[in-house]
């Protein structure tokens, strides 16, 4: 079997803050059926150390960016798991990225340089009797690995792939940290890791990895433009032939609706309304499960909300983030009995929302792939999404063509603005009143393939291509 080391800063079921963890957790199992043995390398956060079970020490490092560390080997399901036990870097309470003040940990550059460097050391020396042929590096936290590996001479000719999950996060550090991060000075220039006078970990990966991938075909194209490329579009255009977009999938067993057909949603909708204190309504019960940020377009939803309510619809929102958005949605809930707002995150409630909702709203200004719309499809909770990134690649819109062919699975709007979102919400409410059309769309959605089968084949093919590079 081809051996690939997946290098990630988070991974379910060990630790999760976002969609990266879902992808890192699902890929090893999905790829095992494609002849790929994927091991995972994770930082030893408290949750990871507590959850890894039996482990053996396979390496020691006398000085890993300020302290001693061990490399431990365990299991992630049936796949190998390697964990960096470095208490001085990872043994701390709270968020894996943020301190109690809500700001990045000041030593994040060193913490994730350690993750990248250990990945490169495994590529050179192996881990116990396990030797990777490819490093699969996820986002900026692992993106220094190709540079470290090149600087070490890469004696085993291990190939590298960097996957961009969200280019907005680049892992910037001060230029004077080059020596502290053990980065070669020859790499610091405009064709290397320099980014406006700083070090960009993500740029290092984009420059020095053998191949680059991202999480949807449309996002791959968007990244080549100044609007979406976050200042790295130039380097990506240079490497356009090395860039591939592969859609994320979801675990079909983990995200399995508690009903077999769309008719089963009725009692879950009734239970959800009762739980949230929402009255009966003629229009759709729309849900939002999201970080409350400008990226997610939820300020646009606030402007469109009156139209949803005028059409007899309701809104049930679960999320947290920008304080002004939290306050605005809380005010909307106080102003209407048809709006329920829960600030925070509750996994169990998110599943009840998905089961009981009629439509899930995802009005993101940009969305590399998105997972909530995939959950919506799986549950027959029709997605209404912006035409961007993975949202464009996963929803068949209820436009003239989609309706004529009888294949529509949701609703899309473009350009991403409040007036256009408002119009699409009105059209979605009109479709809801056509019961036969709505049920047909729900059935289409629940049959739509959202698992990892197709994407796993694409990743396996990409790994095969990478392994044949000279």
pLDDT reading at 437 higher than 80 = yes
Average pLDDT over residues 394-410: 97
pLDDT reading at 61 higher than 90 = yes
Predicted confidence band at 68 (pLDDT cuts at 50, 70, 90)? very high
pLDDT reading at 380 higher than 80 = yes
Predicted confidence band at 19 (pLDDT cuts at 50, 70, 90)? confident
Average pLDDT over residues 275-297: 96
Q: How far apart are CA 114 and CA 68, in angstroms?
A: 11
pLDDT digits (tens, 9 = 90+) for 199-211: 999 999 999 999 9
Average pLDDT over residues 352-380: 97
pLDDT reading at 436 higher than 80 = yes
Q: Which two tokens stand for residue 209?
A: 């990895």
pLDDT digits (tens, 9 = 90+) for 300-343: 999 999 999 999 999 999 999 999 999 999 999 999 999 999 99
Determine what percent of the chain is predicted with pLDDT higher than 70: 100
Predicted confidence band at 139 (pLDDT cuts at 50, 70, 90)? very high
CA 381 to chain CA centroid, Å, is 20
CA 152 to chain CA centroid, Å, is 31
pLDDT reading at 1 higher than 90 = no
Determine what percent of the chain is predicted with pLDDT higher than 90: 95
pLDDT digits (tens, 9 = 90+) for 100-127: 888 999 999 999 999 999 999 999 999 9
What local confidence, expressed as pLDDT, does residue 102 receive? 83
Average pLDDT over residues 273-294: 97
pLDDT reading at 455 higher than 90 = yes
Of 390, 391, 381, whose CA–CA distance to 412 is shortest? 391
For the CA atoms of the chain, what is the radius of gyration? 23
Q: Which two tokens stand for residue 238?
A: 């240079």
Average pLDDT over residues 438-465: 97
Q: How far apart are CA 7 and CA 376, in angstroms?
A: 29
The chain-wide mean pLDDT, for the chain, equals 96
From its phi and psi, is residue 380 left (phi > 0), alpha (psi between -120 and 50) or beta? left
pLDDT digits (tens, 9 = 90+) for 243-255: 999 999 998 988 9
Average pLDDT over residues 344-358: 95
What local confidence, expressed as pLDDT, does residue 15 receive? 95
Residues 6 or more apart in contact with residue 189 via CB below 8 angstroms? none
Of 425, 358, 353, whose CA–CA distance to 386 is shortest? 425
The beta strands (E) that lie in 157-303 are given as 159-164, 172-174, 194-195, 198-200, 211-214, 243-245, 285-292
pLDDT reading at 197 higher than 80 = yes
What local confidence, expressed as pLDDT, does residue 257 receive? 97
Q: Does the predicted model carry a pTM greater than 0.85?
A: yes
pLDDT reading at 470 higher than 80 = no
Domains of the chain: 2-249+453-467 (3.40.50.2000), 262-447 (3.40.50.2000)
16 annotated binding-site participant: yes
pLDDT reading at 345 higher than 90 = no
pLDDT reading at 53 higher than 90 = no
């Amino acid at each position: 079997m081809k051996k690939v080391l997946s290098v990630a800063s988070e991974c379910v079921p060990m630790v999760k803050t976002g969609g990266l963890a879902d992808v890192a957790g699902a890929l090893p199992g999905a790829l095992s059926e494609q002849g790929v043995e994927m091991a995972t390398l994770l930082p030893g956060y408290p949750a990871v150390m507590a959850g890894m079970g039996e482990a053996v020490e396979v390496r020691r490092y006398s000085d890993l960016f300020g302290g001693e560390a061990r490399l431990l080997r365990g299991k992630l399901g049936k796949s190998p798991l390697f964990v960096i036990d470095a208490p001085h870097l990872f043994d701390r309470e709270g968020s894996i990225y943020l301190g109690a003040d809500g700001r990045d940990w000041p030593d994040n550059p060193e913490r994730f340089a350690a993750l990248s460097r250990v990945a490169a050391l495994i590529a050179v020396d192996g881990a116990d009797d396990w030797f990777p042929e490819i490093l699969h590096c996820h986002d900026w936290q692992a993106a220094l690995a190709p540079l470290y590996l090149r600087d070490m001479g890469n004696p085993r000719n291990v190939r590298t792939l960097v996957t961009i999950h969200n280019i907005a996060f680049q892992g910037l550090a001060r230029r004077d940290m080059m020596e502290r991060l053990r980065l070669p000075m020859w790499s610091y220039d405009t064709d290397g890791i320099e980014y406006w006078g700083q070090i960009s970990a993500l740029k290092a990966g984009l420059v020095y990895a053998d191949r680059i991938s991202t999480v949807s075909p449309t996002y791959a194209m968007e990244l080549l433009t100044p609007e979406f490329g976050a200042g790295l579009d130039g380097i990506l255009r240079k490497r356009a032939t090395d860039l591939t977009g592969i859609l994320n999938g979801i675990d079909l067993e983990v995200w399995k609706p508690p009903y077999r057909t769309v008719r089963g949603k009725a009692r879950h909708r009734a239970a959800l309304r009762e739980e949230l204190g929402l009255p009966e309504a003629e229009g759709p019960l729309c849900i939002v499960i999201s970080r409350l940020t400008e990226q997610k377009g939820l300020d646009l939803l606030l402007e469109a909300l009156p139209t949803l309510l005028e059409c007899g619809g309701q809104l049930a929102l679960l999320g947290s983030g920008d304080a002004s958005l939290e306050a605005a949605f809380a005010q909307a809930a106080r102003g209407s009995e048809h709006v329920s707002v829960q600030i925070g995150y509750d996994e169990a409630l998110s599943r009840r929302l998905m089961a009981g909702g009629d439509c899930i709203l995802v009005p993101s200004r940009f969305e590399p792939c998105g997972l909530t719309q995939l959950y919506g499809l799986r549950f027959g909770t029709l997605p209404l999404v912006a035409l961007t990134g993975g949202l464009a690649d996963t929803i068949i819109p209820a436009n003239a063509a989609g309706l004529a062919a009888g294949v529509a699975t949701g609703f899309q709007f473009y350009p991403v603005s409040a007036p256009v979102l408002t119009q699409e919400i009105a059209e979605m409410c009109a479709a809801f009143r056509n019961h036969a059309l709505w049920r047909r769309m729900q059935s289409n959605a629940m049959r739509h393939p959202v698992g990892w089968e197709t994407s796993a084949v694409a990743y396996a093919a990409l790994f095969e291509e990478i392994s044949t590079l000279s």
